Structure 1
């Protein structure tokens, strides 16, 4: 559901989003890919509310979840660099590891992006204990740029992802 939001300017010139009472940020897979594409192409976002952090360097209990304020309970959105593929977090308490194969995200019979589940495990690989924390990692399909991207933009497509961090607590 699209909601009209009110934006006001903070003291530092940034736009501050003010959602109507009762509304939450709960995008579809397509909408997450759309936000990611806007971020990669440095276009104005429909609502600039998704912070950029280094998600994969943190254990779940160290993630700055308070930086995302507009979602539903148990879900947070961030932009970050690609997953490390099972490398340990900086704090050494565990690791994020991809689960299964990426799923295609289609719109009008075109693949616009991909969604990959990434689970957190406490301990050291490969003997870690699976936690109740999962990231849905969204990647833009490079074909969405119609071959018009310069090297910098192509690198962003390869390295920048959107993440929906979830817990089943």
Structure 2
């Protein structure tokens, strides 16, 4: 296992790939507590998964372009990025559904928020809605929202 990890970490800037049979399938709570919170605090993530979720500089990626750039578990893509109001991509835009849900910790406390967005092809506000849905996660503290890091999970919805 050590040789595999060392080999894959040698590729500068590349995310660590999971071995066959392993799937990245965190709960909302796990995303916030074990990935987003340490990232925001600039704390070290566990060495076992420090390179799993990559940093993408913006939301300016079309959802079909995330393959190979974001961590994928088959149908979901995970990555870190900064919170942005302008979510325009080359071929469309992410539209906020104005729905935020709390993410609860083990003791029932609110530890983060989850926001839903849909991808539209074309220019706002007349673009055509697609089946791509993004879940954005951020921490709850108000002062942490400006320029904060978030974990985004892009989920292709199948009809």
Q: CA deviation at 1:83?
A: 3.6
TM-score, normalised with respect to structure 1: 0.75
Question: Unaligned regions of 5+ residues in structure 1, if any?
Answer: 144-153
Aligned length: 150
Coordinate RMSD, CA, aligned = 2.7
For 2:126 and 2:100, how far apart are their aligned partners in 1? 23
Alignment partner, residue 93 of structure 2: 95
Residues 73/84 of structure 1: CA separation in 2 closer, same or farther (3 Å cut): same
Q: CA deviation at 1:129?
A: 0.7
Please show how residues 61-76 of structure 1 align to structure 2 within 5 Å: 61=64, 63-69=65-71, 71-76=72-77
Alignment partner, residue 31 of structure 1: 30
TM-score, normalised with respect to structure 2: 0.79
Residues 18/79 of structure 1: CA separation in 2 closer, same or farther (3 Å cut): closer
Q: CA deviation at 1:155?
A: 5.2
For 2:22 and 2:155, how far apart are their aligned partners in 1? 19
For 1:109 and 1:16, how far apart are their aligned partners in 2? 33
Alignment partner, residue 50 of structure 1: 53
The secondary structure found in structure 1 opposite 2:74 is coil
Q: Is the 8 A contact 2:136 2:151 kept in 1?
A: yes
